[in-house]
Amino acid sequence: MKTKILAPSLLSADFANLQGAIEKIKNNNGSAVHIDVMDGHFVPEITYGQPVIRSIRKLTDLPFDVHLMVEKPELHVESFIKAGADWITFHYEATAHSHRIIQLIHEAGKKAGIAICPGTPLSLLDELLEIADIILVMTVNPGWGGQKLIPACVEKVSELNRIRKEKGYNYLISVDGGINSRTVQSVLDAGTDIVVSGSSFFNDDLQWKVEK
């Protein structure tokens, strides 16, 4: 069995105590810090940006898994890399330049991920699977924490796992949305490598030990 990555999302942390949240991630089997960046356009909420990431970068050496839920992510990739991002995942739906964005991220020596919303067919990623490092399957509609997982989205994980084996691709499969102690096994069984959990992790519901 491959080692799995638990990447708790700071979206559900206490924003007044991000240092404490990062300590909790480090002390509870977290292998990365998932940082949801929202612009108020691609999704309704606005969270935080480059200054916050620069401020918390010094608190940990865990990888920063920056999820750009923003329109025209190509305008922001460079600044988030400079702020401390290690992995950058952008949404297919937010840009016409997915291939070029992946190239930009790779040229900076970082891992490139591409995310899809529940209503986006997996087939639209056919030309990108070979070059992406991470495919993020949103199992809720992005924008808020605490939502229930959409079961049909787990089928996309199974299909990504099948394609990866068939084609010999190397991307990791990430899942974000509605992951808790009742749903985590289903996404792991489907082939997920990176589990993103916010509300359940910070509310101590997700009892999942990562194989180190």
The one-character DSSP state at 171 is P
- C-alpha to C-alpha distances, 140 to 31, 67, 147, 176, nearest whole angstrom: 22, 14, 7, 7
Rounded CA-CA distance 78/142 in Å is 23
Active-site residue identified among 39, 133, 176, 193:
176
Distance between start and end Cα atoms, the chain: 11
Residue 176 annotated to the active site: yes
Q: Which of 36, 39, 65, 193 is catalytic?
A: 36
Nearest to 90 by CA among 147, 136, 44, 156: 136
Q: CB–CB of 72/94 below 8 Å?
A: yes
Q: Which residues form the catalytic set? A: 36, 176
